[in-house]
Structure 1
Amino acid sequence: MSTATIARPRASRAAEEVERHEAAAPTATRHAVRLEAIGTSPDGVVEEVGGLYDGRGWAAHSTGRPFSYRYTAVGDDAVTLRRSRITGAIRGAIPHTDDYIVQWLTEGVGVPDVRHDRVPLTTGVPMLFPTDREFVFEYQDYDQRIVHLSRSLVHDVAEERYRTGPVDDLALDHLRTLDPAAVARWRGQVTLLARELRNGVGTLLWQTLTRDAAAAFLALYPPALPEIPEVVLLPRLSRLRAAVEFVHEHVHEPLTVGDIARAADLSVRSVQETFQRHLDCSPMTYLLRVRLARVRIELLRADPGTTTVQDVARRWGFAHLGRFSGTYAQAYGEYPRQTLRR
């Protein structure tokens, strides 16, 4: 669910307020979001909260005490702070979403992904939802804090701080071991956001804090993508940067030297000479390296029980498995099957 397009729950107990206001940039607007859903019916939470997440197969029931739920959200279409409390049990599937969603429990028990990861939450410890795919959660008698961050905001900050370039996927590892200092920074940033909400989301400070929150989120879950080489950031190499960013953005597509040259407004010969002079490789070799890095990321994240090296290699354009394995081993000091079995 994107916070920019929250749908009104169908039951009358839920109240939602969406207001337009001017953002810090004169040409940009954000939508303020305020949402509350309260009830005592298992069917009500499935209809109201499940509807907000485009949920599938949601079910809730009592655990011996009177069933109740309350779900609140406040913020704007870049960042919303949310809270979900249920006395009872709930389970359901959440499909792929455009938001990055960090959540943690202050009480109760929960497993965010019972189908694949099956890693239970530790009270007070954040965990990123695997929103790049559908997942099935189970929670019981819990109080949960949730922060939604828009993909556009996070990717903008990632490009600025990690030189990822304009990409669709940052390849974040939602199960990575979190750095305690990064967790403390994240908590501090959420506290600052909560305080500023008293002044509304139309302030310059709020928008500054939302970018800081995205930076704190990326400290928790750094992008696994190969960085754009630092040398291409020099102002005099703007055309090389355009070529490199084009490669990173379109790495999953069939590319030729001519495609890369046109993206940089250079001739084929000029783009070849520029890559060789500043990156010590040809444009197609650079493309190969970026694709190898994406293969490695996918192998590290994949389930060896359901994934094969051949499938991943073919997906990234490598047809000859033996030649690919040798190139991969030369680049990373291990064979791809070893990476997959980690």
Structure 2
Amino acid sequence: MDNEVGAERPAAAGAARAEIVGHHIEQARAMYQGTYNGRGFVIEPTGDAFGFRYTSVGDGELSLRGNLFGGSMRGAIETEGEYVVTWITAGEGVLDLDGDPVALQHGRPAMFVNNRDNAFAFHDHKQNLMHFDGAFLERVAAEHEGTPEGPLLFDTTAVPEGDALRRWGATVSTVAKVLYSDNASAILRSEANRAAAIALLETFPHESIAAPPELTVPGNARLRRAIEFMHANAHLPVNVTQIAEAAGVSPRVLQSAFHKHLEITPVDYLRRIRLDRVRDDLRAAEPGTAIADVARNWGFAHLGRFAAHYAERFGELPRDTLHG
């Protein structure tokens, strides 16, 4: 048989396993684009033969996946409602080609970009992935770190090393044994999922996006999505039209929603986010750092207006933050 799709079967209480094996490019394109909310996939075989094998084991909170791909694949994906970490053990792979490119190193995990296009390119690779349900990981983060429950913004350029990498590897090995065990109890699986989530949070720098409480009620999903997009893209020259497109509304509707629920314009909200990033950078900066350079990195060209906005938001001048 040229193409085989393994039937999904229970691996333990609440868990399932699946396997897809194929030798046709169109089948591969449809499967990967569908699984990863992708578009524009271009797949080219290496030599005369082409083949792939995609496996998954897990439950609604966490799944461990494996991908063996004999050929080149490039395109763009956009993860929604989950957080994905990946590492390759053979071949080549690059993520976020249009943003902050990250060339994958064998055995070193990297985070997928969330809620925006993530252009990628892989070649003859063997890949492992862990998919975390978004609500599950955000709940664990709130419990473990004492932060408000909400979306998480990961530093996708971070490359773990040293003790952090060793702890991550040890946790993944332990969790994988539980996931692949046919005898694991429901409570053991639950604890393994939580251990994996905590390991991810302790391995990759991140921040919790504390959206206003009123955005958690039904009906504000689009406004929440706009805010998440702004946090994820604050380092880029985004405008109101792009924010509205990400939220699935018109610019006029977006402006109205911000005014109604937050009493602020989208542009002012984005400026607040960037001011927060400036403050974080100043707190972490070495003595002698040029405040003007930090401000310009976040799009503040007029330093007088920047200082006024900064003082209004934080009750102190940028130099006080730096020297403090």
Map Cα deviations across residues 48-97 of structure 1 (whole Å, 9 max, x no partner): 22221221111201122521111111011111111111111001211132
Q: How far apart, in 1, do the equivalents of 2:50 and 2:279 lie?
A: 43
Gaps of 5+ in 1: 1-10, 23-30, 227-247, 254-290, 311-319, 337-342
Secondary structure of 2:93's counterpart equals: strand
- Pick which of 47-56 and 213-222 moved more: 47-56
CA drift of 1:146 comes to 0.6
Tell me the number of residue pairs that the alignment of Structure 1 and Structure 2 aligns: 248
Which residue of the other structure, out of 147, 164, 170, is the alignment partner of 1:182? Answer: 164
Which residue of the other structure, out of 212, 216, 220, is the alignment partner of 1:250? Answer: 212
Q: After TM superposition, list the pairs within 5 Å mapping 1:259-298 onto structure 2.
A: 295-297=275-277
Question: Which letter maps to 2:60?
Answer: D
Question: Which letter maps to 1:87?
Answer: G
In structure 1, the partner of 2:135 is 152
Q: How far apart, in 1, do the equivalents of 2:205 and 2:57 lie?
A: 26
Pick closer, same or farther for the CA change 1:298–1:59 going to 2, 3 Å: farther
In structure 2, the partner of 1:314 is none
* Percent identical residues: 26
Q: How far apart, in 1, do the equivalents of 2:46 and 2:279 lie?
A: 40
Q: TM-score, normalised by structure 1?
A: 0.63
Which residue of the other structure, out of 80, 93, 104, is the alignment partner of 1:97? Answer: 80
Map Cα deviations across residues 196-240 of structure 1 (whole Å, 9 max, x no partner): 1213565211111110110000001243249xxxxxxxxxxxxxx
Q: TM-score, normalised by structure 2?
A: 0.66
Which residue of the other structure, out of 56, 60, 66, is the alignment partner of 2:49? Answer: 66
In structure 2, the partner of 1:170 is 152
In structure 2, the partner of 1:325 is 310
CA contact (8 A) 1:193 1:210 kept: yes
Secondary structure of 2:68's counterpart equals: strand
In structure 2, the partner of 1:191 is 173
Gaps of 5+ in 2: 216-270, 282-294
Q: How far apart, in 1, do the equivalents of 2:297 and 2:277 lie?
A: 16
Q: How far apart, in 1, do the equivalents of 2:49 and 2:104 lie?
A: 24
Secondary structure of 2:106's counterpart equals: coil
Q: How far apart, in 2, do the equivalents of 1:147 and 1:16 lie?
A: 21
Q: How far apart, in 2, do the equivalents of 1:89 and 1:95 lie?
A: 19
Question: Which letter maps to 1:70?
Answer: R
Secondary structure of 1:198's counterpart equals: coil
CA drift of 1:293 comes to 6.8
Q: How far apart, in 1, do the equivalents of 2:71 and 2:296 lie?
A: 34
CA contact (8 A) 2:12 2:185 kept: yes
Q: How far apart, in 2, do the equivalents of 1:307 and 1:90 lie?
A: 34
